[in-house]
Amino acid sequence: MKTQKRILLIWSIALLTAGLLLFGSLINGSQTERYLGLLLFSAFLVVGGSISTRQPKNAIGWFFLAGVFIHALNGFLSWYARVGLQERPASLPAAGVVAALINGMGNFGFGLLLFFPFLLFPNGRLLSRRWRPIAWLTGLILAMQVVEIFRPGPLAFFHDWENPLGVGWLAGYFEISDALSEVLFSVVFLACTLSLILRYRRATLTERQQIKWLAYAAGLIGLVVGLMLVLSPILDLMQIAEIWFNLIWITLVTSIPVSIGLAILRYRLYDIDLIIRRTLVYTVLTATLGLVYFGMVILLEGVLRSLVGSSGQVATVVSTLAIAALFTPLRRRVQDTIDRRFYRRKYNAEQALAGFAAASRNETDLEALSAQVVNIVQNTMQPDQVSLWLKVSENQ
């Protein structure tokens, strides 16, 4: 297919999908769920369209497009079935059949978005031929979701209606599939994670930077979720405002397709090390300052209460001033510690450059200075060989 026709086809599908997403966000779920779902799947749609346009051989973009399209179509069919079965019964033809289709489409779309893209990331190909059984197993899981269309008995989302497409003799199959589904999902999830780890160990420098983008997004989600679980009993975060919790969660999940798009399209690819470094520094710094702040407030309140009988706002003011004074020196100390632990090569290079800058201020011997230049290049750049050429002045 020619480039222009392929691009036209891709964005035509994307435009149709966007229309279905917008329609589904207006008619299904609560207002919060509408906007947050629209944000998440729009990110998958834009990233999928961009990858498919610029790198059509990378299957990840096509999986994103297909997964979002199926989800958007499922939203439209949900509205159709709800109107035809509940709001205005018998007003729409084949509403029961449409409701049966919904049984297998939702999880199938999510599977396209989650499993294959992670298994194929970042180049759109399996790690090796040995991973083909995992790919077939992933396909089997998705096929099992499609077969849900024929599950006999009440419809999944319309319990008062029997599935018109239900096949009675498949009842035994569904008993087995229900028991195996969680196990198979866990196996595929672990396989996708192991695939990324092995890719990173065997990858080139560029592929490692790509995998770092995805790992950063996943790590950020894990960090925030863990923080929410730790702080929720203390600050009662779950009851402050559900909309804010949902907004934070969807924003974090949206970072997954965004990070995949940045990695595959190689936009500012090598900034990921700087982002990870700053995230580590400010996460540790924030946690440390928070502990120091609350510790000082509790301690000062106890001391003031024992001395004057009332703490007032003095403890809070003093603690705030102390935190402001500690911020810069503590940030430097945390950054040096993280650089020594995780970025040792960069830290050594910075220390070597700082030492050279200090020594060169008082050095007047040209030969000694040249030797220091060669030595600093060897220590920081670590080339195979180093030679220094000095241009002789024409006046000499």
Q: SS3 letters for the chain?
A: CCHHHHHHHHHHHHHHHHHHHHHHHHHCCCHHHHHHHHHHHHHHHHHHHHHHHHCCCCHHHHHHHHHHHHHHHHHHHHHHHHHHHHHCCCCCCCHHHHHHHHHHHHHHHHHHHHHHHHHHCCCCCCCCHHHHHHHHHHHHHHHHHHHHHHCCCECCCCCCCECCCCCHHHHHHHHHHHHHHHHHHHHHHHHHHHHHHHHHHHCCHHHHHHHHHHHHHHHHHHHHHHHHHHHHHHHCHHHHCHHHHHHHHHHHHHHHHHHHHHHHHCCCHHHHHHHHHHHHHHHHHHHHHHHHHHHHHHHHHHHHHHHHCCCCCHHHHHHHHHHHHHHHHHHHHHHHHHHHHHCHHHHHHHHHHHHHHHHHCCCCCHHHHHHHHHHHHHHHHCCCCCCCCCCCCCCC
Round the CA-based radius of gyration of the chain to a whole number and report it: 29
Name the more confident of 84 and 287: 84
Neighbours of 120 (CB within 10 A): 20
Residue 116, exposed/middle/buried by CB under 10 A (0-12, 13-18, 19+)? buried
Predicted confidence (pLDDT) per residue in 101-112, tens digit:
887 787 788 888
Name the more confident of 352 and 322: 322
Q: Which of 84, 249, 230, 251 is nearest to 158 (CA)?
A: 84
Average pLDDT, the chain: 76
For the cut 70, the answer to whether the pLDDT of residue 183 exceeds it is: yes
What's the CA gap between 360 and 371, in Å, rounded?
A: 11
Highest mean pLDDT among 1-15, 181-195, 367-381: 181-195
What's the CA gap between 217 and 220, in Å, rounded?
A: 5
Task: Quote the pLDDT of residue 103.
Answer: 76
With beta carbons less than 8 A apart as the criterion, state whether 81 and 31 touch.
no
Predicted confidence (pLDDT) per residue in 296-330, tens digit:
666 666 666 666 555 556 666 666 667 677 667 77
Task: Quote the pLDDT of residue 233.
Answer: 60
Distances (CA, A) of 59 to 311, 364, 372: 63, 61, 51
Region 331-349: mean pLDDT is 63
Residues pairing with 154 in the sheet = 162
For the cut 70, the answer to whether the pLDDT of residue 121 exceeds it is: yes
Task: Quote the pLDDT of residue 311.
Answer: 54
pLDDT interval class at 148 (50, 70, 90): confident
